[in-house]
Structure 1
Amino acid sequence: MSSLANDQTTQRTILIAGAALIAGYIAYSLWTSSQATAPRLTPDSSHTGAGHAAPSHKKSEQYSPKGDPQGWSEEDMKKFLSSRNMAVGHNPTRNELIAMVESKLHEPKV
């Protein structure tokens, strides 16, 4: 390989490495700026839908009525779900509330 070809290869390598560094820096900057504005999710948080924020409660404050969920009042079901960071939306039916409670009761523990 001639000296001129070796110099061109070296220049090309330096140019590619510089472009990769710049692209990496831009990607890192974008990622960290989006992390600063994104909400922090806890491992037990769930999707609340419609952009509504679920109330945040500590695990020690979880509301747990006694007995079968089929016999719970709608207010008990709403308290149970909101204490577990699950929004119930606007005017859910009793069957929808029961389904949400059952899904929370039977969800796998992480």
Structure 2
Amino acid sequence: MPTPLDRAVNQKAPFFAFAAIVTGVAAWSIWGQDMFPSSDPKGDPETWTHEECTRWLNNRNLHPSPLATTAELLERIKANMQTPRS
């Protein structure tokens, strides 16, 4: 006579629920992070576009203002490039 545990193990629903959880965790760990991290712009900051300036500041967690002009972003970039490294 099968017990409730035997009947639960023999059903397909727990297997599919477990498989769905594993698949969800794997998908989140792959796509929840940057698959292709953005690279820093190269060259002279004076020639960078607004998006490149914003990306450079974001990569360093300097949180640029969305309302800032390119000149203001460039000023922040230059100020942060000159900081001494220890």
TM score, norm. by length of structure 2: 0.52
Q: Are positions 1:107 and 2:73 aligned together?
A: no
Q: Are positions 1:74 and 2:50 aligned together?
A: yes
Q: Which has the larger radius of gyration?
A: 1
Give per-residue Cα distances to partners, 1:23-56, cap 9 Å, x unaligned: xxxxxxxxxxxxxxxxxxxxxxxxxxxxxxxxxx
Give per-residue Cα distances to partners, 1:44-101, cap 9 Å, x unaligned: xxxxxxxxxxxxxxxxx68421111010011011010010010112310111010011
What CA distance in whole angstroms lies between the structure 2 residues aligned with 1:68 and 1:85? 21
Specify the SS of the correspondent of 1:109. Answer: coil
Structure 2 residue runs without a partner (length 5+): 1-36
TM score, norm. by length of structure 1: 0.41
Whether contact under 8 Å (2:53, 2:70) holds in the other structure is no
What CA distance in whole angstroms lies between the structure 2 residues aligned with 1:91 and 1:79? 15
Task: Report percent identity of matched pairs.
Answer: 28
The 1:70/1:78 distance shift into structure 2, 3 A limit, reads same
Higher RCO (CA < 8 A, seq sep 6+): 1
Specify the SS of the correspondent of 1:85. Answer: coil
Whether contact under 8 Å (1:70, 1:98) holds in the other structure is yes
**Equivalent position of 2:28 in the other structure:** none
What CA distance in whole angstroms lies between the structure 2 residues aligned with 1:95 and 1:67? 17
The amino acid of 2:51's aligned partner reads: E
**Equivalent position of 2:69 in the other structure:** 93
Structure 1 residue runs without a partner (length 5+): 1-60
- RMSD, aligned α-carbons: 1.7
What CA distance in whole angstroms lies between the structure 2 residues aligned with 1:96 and 1:69? 12
The 1:108/1:63 distance shift into structure 2, 3 A limit, reads farther
Aligned length in residues = 50
